[in-house]
């Protein structure tokens, strides 16, 4: 039986709890604006749907190689060559059940139990929860709106000096801020980690969704980082549970054995879909352009309504804004916004257990009409006393 000790360090994912409350309201016939969950509203590209129908009709869906279909891994080699000019060995690629499986595999394969692994605060909540539940020691590095929510190489040095780090996990573009480090900044981060003996894990799940400059991959700066990526965001495939990792040679076999035992293989149908998706960049770039427009519209409106730090982010599809002028309790704020305003948003405490009570994340990956509707409801909600 589980004892309470086992839940030390674990927290609920409030975005999912707000989603559950929103669904309950919808079941009563209320129309809710969904800005809480970080997933694209669009369908996958038509060619992806066709490929899946074909494989369902014609192929047996069985286990695949634990590292994924060879044809998908070859396509990923092409992707890195075309997008980044980097040559990847298909043997170093492991197809995963979303990037979520990639984190577990990376942590267990690269570190000893109890290793100290740094993440940013705010950051994606599952990082802390996975680290804690696997028996690692998370170290949070605070980043701020004043610095564009960017992690610096200097902060890594300082944190390591206070207590040595074994690993660092960074997403760029990031969740919940959408912040992205430049190519030179990423290069410096990779190099500082190498100098200090810190294993760098690059979460590249929001690649393809930069609003400006193209994202760099950590692979451009050497083959000692672990790169984790996913088809969930740019390729609009959250529910297909498919992603991949690129591993340093020394970790490939160990990670493969873990994947064989923990997951057997990624879903065969999703691997076929993913392979087709890699050829559909035109369609997905079009979706990205819509997010950029939604972001401009939403951040301008949030600014005018009096939310602090509301500015167009560097990438992804999130606005992470300061609500201090309205409330100092983001959970209560989001509950009331849902109850009285019919807008679902995510309380900042999901991403930052210390300062998150002052922040809310709005996801703008839905249709433009949904964003316009949400802005109107939000303004109405704020106009009434909270």
Ligand X SMILES: Cc1ncc(COP(=O)(O)O)c(C=O)c1O
- The C-alpha atoms of residue 192 and residue 195 are separated, in whole angstroms, by 5
Residue 264 beta carbon to ligand X: minimum distance, rounded to whole angstroms: 17
* 171 or 190: CB nearest ligand X: 171
Residue 236 beta carbon to ligand X: minimum distance, rounded to whole angstroms: 11
* 193 or 237: CB nearest ligand X: 237
Name residue 3's beta-bridge partners. Answer: none
Residue 203 beta carbon to ligand X: minimum distance, rounded to whole angstroms: 5
Residue 266 beta carbon to ligand X: minimum distance, rounded to whole angstroms: 11
- The C-alpha atoms of residue 353 and residue 350 are separated, in whole angstroms, by 7
Residue 154 beta carbon to ligand X: minimum distance, rounded to whole angstroms: 23
8 Å CB contact between 172 and 186: yes
* 42 or 305: CB nearest ligand X: 42
Structure tokens at 316: 């992804």
* 38 or 208: CB nearest ligand X: 38
Distances (CA, A) of 337 to 33, 260, 275, 331: 11, 45, 40, 10
Exposure string of 4-18, with b = 16+ CB inside 10 Å and e = fewer, is eeeeeeeeeebbebb
The secondary element (H helix, E strand) that includes residue 127 is: helix 125-133
In sequence order, the 6+-apart residues with CB closer than 8 A to the CB of 291 are 40, 209, 317, 364, 365
- DSSP strand E in the chain: where? 33-34, 93-96, 116-121, 137-142, 167-171, 199-203, 226-230, 243-246, 318-322, 343-344, 346-347, 359-363
The secondary element (H helix, E strand) that includes residue 25 is: helix 14-27
Binding site for ligand X (CB under 6 A): 38, 98-100, 124, 171, 175, 203, 205, 230, 232, 238, 243
CA atoms 321, 322, 323, 325: torsion sign: negative
Residue 97 beta carbon to ligand X: minimum distance, rounded to whole angstroms: 8
* 100 or 220: CB nearest ligand X: 100
Residue 381 beta carbon to ligand X: minimum distance, rounded to whole angstroms: 25
- The C-alpha atoms of residue 349 and residue 9 are separated, in whole angstroms, by 14
Name residue 246's beta-bridge partners. Answer: 93, 227
* 229 or 322: CB nearest ligand X: 229
Residue 169 beta carbon to ligand X: minimum distance, rounded to whole angstroms: 9
Helix/strand/coil for 285: helix
Nearest 5°: CA angle at 18, between 17 and 19? 90
* 132 or 373: CB nearest ligand X: 132
Cβ-closest position to ligand X = 98
Phi/psi zone of residue 11: left (φ > 0), alpha (ψ -120 to 50 degrees), beta?
A: beta
* 232 or 330: CB nearest ligand X: 232
Residue 96 beta carbon to ligand X: minimum distance, rounded to whole angstroms: 8
* 294 or 363: CB nearest ligand X: 363
CA atoms 136, 139, 144, 147: torsion sign: negative
Residue 179 beta carbon to ligand X: minimum distance, rounded to whole angstroms: 11
* 142 or 386: CB nearest ligand X: 142
């Amino acid at each position: 039986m589980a004892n309470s000790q086992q839940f030390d360090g674990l927290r609920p994912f409030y975005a999912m709890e707000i989603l559950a409350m929103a669904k309950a309201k919808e079941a009563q016939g209320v129309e809710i604006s969904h800005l809480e969950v970080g997933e694209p509203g669009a369908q996958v590209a038509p060619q992806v749907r066709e490929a899946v129908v074909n494989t369902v009709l014609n192929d047996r869906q069985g286990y695949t190689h634990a590292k994924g279909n060879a044809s998908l891994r070859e396509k990923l080699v092409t992707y890195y060559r075309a997008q980044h000019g980097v040559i990847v060995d298909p043997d170093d690629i492991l197809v995963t059940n979303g990037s979520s499986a990639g984190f577990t595999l990376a942590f267990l394969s690269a570190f000893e139990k109890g290793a100290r692994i740094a993440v940013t605060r705010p950051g994606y909540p599952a990082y802390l929860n996975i680290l804690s539940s696997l028996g690692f020691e998370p170290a949070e590095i605070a980043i701020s709106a004043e610095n564009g929510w960017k992690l610096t190489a200097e902060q890594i040095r300082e944190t390591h000096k206070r207590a040595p780090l074994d690993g660092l996990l960074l997403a760029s573009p990031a969740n919940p801020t959408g912040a992205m480090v430049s190519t030179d900044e990423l290069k410096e981060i990779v190099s500082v980690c190498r100098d200090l003996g810190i294993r760098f894990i690059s979460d590249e799940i929001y690649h393809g969704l930069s609003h400006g400059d193209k994202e760099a991959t950590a692979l451009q700066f050497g083959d000692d980082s672990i790169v984790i990526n996913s088809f969930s965001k740019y390729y609009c495939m959250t529910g297909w549970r498919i992603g991949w990792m690129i591993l340093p040679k020394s970790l490939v076999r160990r990670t493969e054995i873990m994947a064989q035992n923990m997951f057997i293989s990624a879903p065969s149908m999703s691997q076929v879909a993913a392979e087709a998706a890699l050829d559909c960049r035109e369609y997905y770039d079009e979706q990205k352009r819509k997010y950029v427009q939604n972001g401009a519209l939403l951040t301008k409106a949030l600014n005018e309504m009096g939310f602090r730090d509301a500015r167009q982010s560097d990438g992804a599809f999130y606005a992470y804004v300061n609500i201090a002028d309205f409330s100092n309790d983001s959970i209560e704020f989001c509950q009331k916004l849902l109850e009285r305003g019919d807008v679902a948003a995510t309380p900042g405490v999901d991403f930052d257990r210390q300062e998150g009570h002052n922040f809310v994340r709005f996801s703008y990956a839905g249709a433009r009409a949904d964003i316009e509707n949400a802005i109107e409801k939000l303004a109405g909600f704020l106009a009434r006393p909270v």
